[in-house]
Amino acid sequence: MRVMKLVTTLMLGAALTSCMPEQGTSDAPATQTADSVADRALALLNQMTLEEKIGQVIQADISAVTPEDLRTYNLGSVLNGGNSAPGGGKVAEPEEWIELADAFWDASTDTSDGGVGIPAIWGTDAVHGHNNVQTATIFPHNSALGATHNPDLMRQIGDVTALEIRATGLDWTFAPTLAVARDDRWGRAYESYSENPELVAEYAAAIIEGLQGLPGDPDFLIGENVMATAKHFVADGGTQYGIDKGDTVGDLQDILDIHAAGYGPAIELGIQSVMASFSSVNGEKMHGSEHLLQDVLRDQYGFEGFVVGDWNGHAEVPGCTATDCVASLDAGVDMYMAPDSWRGVYDSLLAAAEAGELDLERLDEAVLRILEAKIRSGLLDAGRPSDRATSDVSILGNDEHRAVARQAVRESLVLLRNDDSLLPLAPGLNVMVAGSGADSMQQQTGGWTLNWQGTGNSNEEFLTGETIFSGLSTAMSEIGGDAFLSEDGSYDSRPDVAIVVFGEQPYAEYLGDRTDLVFEFDDGENLQLIRELKADGVPVVSVFLTGRPLWV
């Protein structure tokens, strides 16, 4: 092992194109006050029919809803899930995002049927940059950002991400994840900044400030800022055995002390939405927990935005299905994330109302919370997405934005050992770059990149990023050295040094759950490659791409 250097990096990536960001204008009255927002929301509510109110509390996925549906059912929101892009393919041109946003805008604001015409709000999982868009700037995942211990950088990342979301005409991100991951077997461990609640709390404030702006500032939530979501409330990172959607057990106060650490700062910074967790606390599903969603989140912590459900998360509640769950609204979920189930949710809520089984005051309360967030964030006054000054796809992945991502990558690399001071590599060396991760964009970028799992993505689909090999190759030639690629580690003439890049393959959510933390327990393919190089006297720098610490 003496010649083996181990460098850990958590999945990372970068992207490009050029141009300076255009300074957007703010679209909402800078003069709005809590009272004026509440009055305006109430005035709208008073004009709404029961059907419009029910529509307002439902969010559908763009793969399963059309602008025409929005016109008919007056749905309050749309999202693009990890696998949904405009046009139905895996990815779409940046302009297509704006065009579809326009179509949803036109449909939802249409008042020709006598409706109120409240614009639908579009949410996306911009969880490490605006990661469903091919030319966007991709940042390291949260666990890697945690390793930077740099809240200032988080603010900048939030700024850039907000600008790039706005560039495509969207309004809202389902980020940041404020999980405090306590079991690295959890498939979402990399979405957590840290196992340390204090660091998560510090980061929460910084990233939310970057995304939303500061409460009280004239551009809070508007113009170049977006609405953010603190997720997943609560204790998603504390489930037993690290099982996704599992159960966090223990004394409630102890659980909250650890796992709710980020929510206080998030609420102080004016977070507009909180997403309920798929998981349970002491056996109670969060989408059905009035105690946690109402007594704790609102009464105790003072949250004033709206609670959005997770992807059919209401179906997790005992007695509920994806298409029928009054219990979630009762418990405090204000907006159902009903991606493909929206029509059933709409029908069942309406049927419950007609049967006198829906708490209409509770419905009004949920609608008001959603309307208030829309008003605060300037949505009602923003105009068609394509007319907004911030809708400018040329800023996606520009040099300035990429510089922030590069800085984040640099600061998030963790040097574990540097035997014999092999690093930094001397200029002029002939370097072999080997291993499955050497020339793989998807292995660098991980889950939630271009699609949900981050798999099945070829290098060509990342329009502007660089693989580790291509970046090294450029860098080496600039300093008078040379790099060549050999994924399997074979060579004709012996290199001066080998950089072997290996690690986890991409995954997201429960598909990333593990039962142990041993890397490659069975096959040891990478270890074999490194051993052969060592036997041949080639010094090895190991780069480990991973979503979590693993035994190697």
Q: Which stretch binds ligand BGC (CB under 6 A): 64-72, 77-85, 101-109, 410-418?
A: 77-85
C-beta of 88: minimal distance to ligand BGC in Å? Answer: 13
What H or E segment, with its residue span, contains residue 153?
helix 151-167
- Residue 209 interacts with ligand BGC (CB under 6 A): yes or no: no
Which amino acid appears at position 521 of this protein?
F
- Residues 540, 254: Cα–Cα separation, whole Å: 45
Site string for ligand BGC, 228-257 (x = CB under 6 A): ---x--------------------------
C-beta of 245: minimal distance to ligand BGC in Å? Answer: 8
Contact 177, 191 (CB under 8 A): yes
Contact 395, 168 (CB under 8 A): no
C-beta of 481: minimal distance to ligand BGC in Å? Answer: 42
- Residues 418, 159: Cα–Cα separation, whole Å: 35
Which residues face 542 on adjacent strands?
Answer: 6, 500
Q: Which residues, at least 6 apart from 251, have a Cβ–Cβ distance to it below 8 Å?
A: none
Contact 308, 59 (CB under 8 A): yes
Which residues face 551 on adjacent strands?
Answer: 518
Q: Which of 125, 183, 224, 392 binds ligand BGC (CB under 6 A)?
A: 125
Cβ-based nearer residue to ligand BGC, 176 or 435: 176
- Residue 263 interacts with ligand BGC (CB under 6 A): yes or no: no
- Residues in the interface with ligand BGC (CB under 6 A) total 11
Hey, what are 528's tokens? 């074999």
Active site residue 310: yes
CA 151 vs. chain centroid, Å, equals: 18
- Residue 174 interacts with ligand BGC (CB under 6 A): yes or no: yes
Strand ranges for 137-287 from DSSP E? 172-173, 229-233, 247-248, 273-276, 280-281, 284-285
Q: Which stretch binds ligand BGC (CB under 6 A): 30-38, 78-86, 472-480, 525-533?
A: 78-86
- Residues 438, 545: Cα–Cα separation, whole Å: 10
Q: Which stretch binds ligand BGC (CB under 6 A): 23-31, 68-76, 79-87, 255-263?
A: 79-87
- Residues 178, 193: Cα–Cα separation, whole Å: 7
> Quick count: other Cβ atoms within 10 Å of Cβ 551?
9
- Residue 82 interacts with ligand BGC (CB under 6 A): yes or no: yes
Q: Which of residues 422-441 bind ligand BGC (CB under 6 A)?
A: none
Q: Which of 105, 186, 193, 452 binds ligand BGC (CB under 6 A)?
A: 452
- Residue 506 interacts with ligand BGC (CB under 6 A): yes or no: no
C-beta of 310: minimal distance to ligand BGC in Å? Answer: 5
* DSSP per-residue string spanning 12-73: --------PPPPP---S-TT--HHHHHHHHHHHHHH--HHHHHHHTEEEETTS--HHHHHHH
Active site residue 509: yes
Which amino acid appears at position 491 of this protein?
Y
Cβ-based nearer residue to ligand BGC, 155 or 231: 231
- Residues 490, 462: Cα–Cα separation, whole Å: 27
Dmax over Cα atoms in the chain, in whole Å?
Answer: 81
- Residue 83 interacts with ligand BGC (CB under 6 A): yes or no: yes
- Residue 454 interacts with ligand BGC (CB under 6 A): yes or no: no
With left for phi above 0 and alpha for psi between -120 and 50, is residue 407 left, alpha or beta?
alpha
- Residues 273, 115: Cα–Cα separation, whole Å: 26
Which residue among 244, 310, 334, 466 is the active-site one?
Answer: 310
Site string for ligand BGC, 306-345 (x = CB under 6 A): ----xx----------------------------------
C-beta of 58: minimal distance to ligand BGC in Å? Answer: 15
C-beta of 542: minimal distance to ligand BGC in Å? Answer: 32
Q: Which of 55, 67, 81, 129 binds ligand BGC (CB under 6 A)?
A: 81
Residues making up the chain, counted from first to last: 552
Which residue among 244, 504, 509, 513 is the active-site one?
Answer: 509
C-beta of 367: minimal distance to ligand BGC in Å? Answer: 22
C-beta of 239: minimal distance to ligand BGC in Å? Answer: 13
- Three-state secondary structure call for residue 280: strand
C-beta of 300: minimal distance to ligand BGC in Å? Answer: 24
Residue number closest to ligand BGC, CB atom: 81
Contact 125, 91 (CB under 8 A): no
Residues with a catalytic annotation lie at: 310, 509
Per CB under 6 A, residues contacting ligand BGC are: 79, 81-83, 125, 174, 231, 310-311, 452, 509
